Amino acid sequence: MGLEDAKTQIDHAFTRDDLKGASFENAFAGATSFLRRRYTKDLSNVDIAITGVPFDQAVTHRTGTRFGPRAIREASSLQPYDKPYGWDYNVLEDFAIADYGDLAFDYAKVSEFPETLKSHIAGILAQDTATVTLGGDHYITLPILEAYAEKYGPLSLLQFDAHTDTWADDDMERIDHGTFLYKAVKLGLVDPVRSVQVGIRTDNPDTLGFNIIDAREMHRIGPEAVAEKICEILKDYPTYLTFDIDCLDPAFAPGTGTPVWGGPSTADIAVILRNIAGIELMGGDVVEVSPPFDTSGITAVAGAHVATEILSLWGWTRRA
């Protein structure tokens, strides 16, 4: 396996005959599904589906996250050779993972987008398949949470972000990535008392009751202690994880719409995500990757690794 397979494997996004296992296709070649998983709309026996939502019409500053799903998939081509580092099992071997492709929507009818996305996610969940979504701006998490709450009831939320996204907005028709969580609380989709926001470093006096581990506390206590605190708050509550790439300091993720200095490093986040293994994760997303503002591609690389960690977290409590 490995070098010999690389001589013959190509376009595994379409040609692989198994939803499990590594891929040794050359990283620089072929169709770029996420982690070289098979593209399919058939979710029979699929444990978890990757789906992209190339939507960025709710941003308050720089657009470009519509290109995020494509960039994250491309960046992930470096990862499917080995099991995710630091885990005692291999989610790619133990679970059937498919790339469900992107959401189709009419970009000129923005008002229809929330229901279109909600139905998209609900259709996946109806087949007892979980989701990891590649964004797209952070507004997309609201319709996703609506679909999850309809199936599982109100969830705990684990949010990595530079912003709380709880700015008050009682107009439920407005589509805004900075107010989606305010709406999620008001709609009863998440319980802030048993949720936690990590990496916050912008001022918003109305926290709506969320537990907050801000960036300064993260730096003071270190990533291991942050992970312990997250686990204490979430306990065994069913949890949805949303990761805004601007949680990372712009030095590590410059390709995002609203960068804020003073954030954690990718090394910090790698420790935190690995150390919260055991939380009852139901699904997750990675949002706000904006490739036009990062010619190096390191932001998409970070996004691909975060998405892989979400897969591993999801599988940890369900492994044999």
Long-range own/partner contacts, residues 201-206 (CB < 8 A, 24 or more apart): 201/162, 201/260, 201/261, 201/262, 201/263, 202/162, 202/163, 202/164, 202/260, 204/163, 204/164, 204/166, 204/167, 206/166, 206/167, 206/168
- Residue pair 117/144 in contact (Cβ under 8 Å)? The answer is yes
Q: Tokens for 187? A: 């709609």
163 annotated as belonging to a binding site for a ligand: yes
CA 189 – CA 176 distance, rounded (Å)? 17
- Does residue 82 have a known ligand-binding role? no
Q: Terminal CA-to-CA distance of the chain, rounded, Å?
A: 24
Residues 6+ apart with CB under 8 A from 38: 12, 13, 14, 16, 19, 98, 99
> Does the annotation flag 94 for ligand binding?
no
Residue 165 assigned as binding residue:
yes
| 138 in a known ligand binding site | yes
The binding site consists of 138, 161, 163, 165, 244, 246
The binding site for Mn(2+) consists of 138, 161, 163, 165, 244, 246
